[in-house]
Amino acid sequence: MTDLLTLDISTQVDCLCDFTYNFYWQHKGSELDPGKPVEGQVGTHFTYRDLVEHLISGKDVRIRGNTGSRLGSSLGVDLKYFGGSGRALDAGSIFVDGNVGTRMGISMVSGRIYVSGSVAQPMGNVVEVVPDREGYRCFRSITDILHNGLGEDEFTDIGNSFQEGDGEGEVPCLVLADGVVRDTVGARCERDVRVVVRGDVSLSTGILMRKGTIIIEGDAGMNTGTLLSGGTVVVQGGAGEFAAADMRAGNLIITGKSSGYMCANMRGGAVFVKRNVKVIPPARQCQPLDSDLKLLVDVLDTNRMDAMGYRKYSIC
């Protein structure tokens, strides 16, 4: 841990090392001021921005104490709102000597998070690997593994697996079977890969994904496919409200029930469901094309007759 920034906290604090500063573009500082010193710190005067900029420079942050929710949100993203490219950068790692609250590592794309204690669910876009530091659990970004492979790491849960493609049509495949409920699975993925989740997921599956296929063998929470920018998300169970919100491109397929407010502010892409649903204009029901039926047959491993039972909703 070179060039280490150490923060001692006496109380749980949300949004530490949060690259979005709790979605600053929505509240403009009314909920979190990046230049404000972190609450409850002991003996230092580090601001929320100090922590993020330290990680952006590739250096590590150590937090001694229990943290709240959204630790390391969008860790490793060079966010466009703050003048960045929107792509991944080589971020440092976060070490927590204590417990961590919910939604750790949502939309995280690089770096690592080490935790000595417990981590509450739902987690974010992370999966646990065998630690290389004694006394800690280690979490990597799912998107990082999809982009760069597992390397020398091994999963702690034997149900999880990652197989690289053969370069002859077989794409890399990540299987998550550990029963952990996660937000933002596959966030910002830019590689032609396949992700299979053997269970349920929580918020915003596939957010800002550009390539790849995510298959949820269970139910999905709110905002599934929100800001989806390519690729395909399949939910084999039900999906919560605001599915396909702000969707830009790609495909969302829901084989079970879907909740309200679907396709809010949709700009592109297509949603396929097996029953009539109410969508937010300008999205509306469209006639499926032959290419749509082929997609459904291939992705769902079904027949054309079954594929013809799906309704298509898009900006037609």
pLDDT in tens, 270-291: 999 998 899 999 999 999 999 9
55 vs 49: CA distance, rounded Å: 10
Q: What is the pLDDT of residues 86-140, one digit of tens each?
A: 999 999 999 999 999 999 999 999 999 999 999 999 999 999 999 999 999 999 9
pLDDT above 70 for 1: no
Kindly report, residue by residue over 262-274, the tens digit of the pLDDT: 999 999 999 999 9
User: How many other C-beta atoms can be found within 10 angstroms of the C-beta atom of residue 203?
Assistant: 22
| Token pair of 275 as six digits | 């029953």
Mean pLDDT computed over every residue of the chain: 96
Cβ burial of 130 (10 Å; 0-12, 13-18, 19+) is exposed
Q: Please name the residue that has the structure tokens 């084999």.
A: 236
Per domain, the residue ranges of the chain are: 1-157
- Rounded CA-CA distance 59/92 in Å is 5
Q: What pTM was computed for the model?
A: 0.95
Q: Where are the alpha helices (DSSP H) in 201-302?
A: 290-300
Kindly tell me if the per-residue pLDDT of 168 is higher than 80. no
Q: Which residues of 80-104 are buried (b: 16+ CB within 10 A; e: fewer)?
A: eeeeeeeebbebbbbbbbebbbbbb
Residues whose CB falls within 8 Å of the CB of residue 286, separated by 6 or more in sequence, listed in order: 270, 312, 313, 314, 316
Q: Are strands 61-64 and 94-97 parallel, antiparallel or unpaired?
A: parallel
Pair 22, 69: CB distance under 8 Å: no
The 10 Å CB-count burial string (b at 16+, else e) for 65-78 is bbbbbbbbbbbbbb
What's the whole-number mean pLDDT along residues 68-77? 98
Give the number of other Cβ atoms within 10 Å of residue 43's Cβ.
Answer: 7
Q: How confident is the model at residue 61 (pLDDT cuts 50, 70, 90)?
A: very high
Q: Which residues contact 252 (CB under 8 A, 6 or more apart)?
A: 206, 224, 225, 228, 232, 233, 235, 243, 244, 269, 270, 271, 272
For the stretch 178-207, pLDDT in tens is: 999 999 999 999 999 999 999 999 999 999
109-119 exposure pattern, b = at least 16 Cβ within 10 A, e = fewer: bbbbbbbeeeb
What mean pLDDT comes out for the span 195-224? Answer: 98
C-alpha distance across the termini of the chain, in Å: 53
Using CA atoms, how far apart are residues 161 and 126, in angstroms rounded to an integer? 14
φ and ψ of 216, to 5 deg: -100, 110
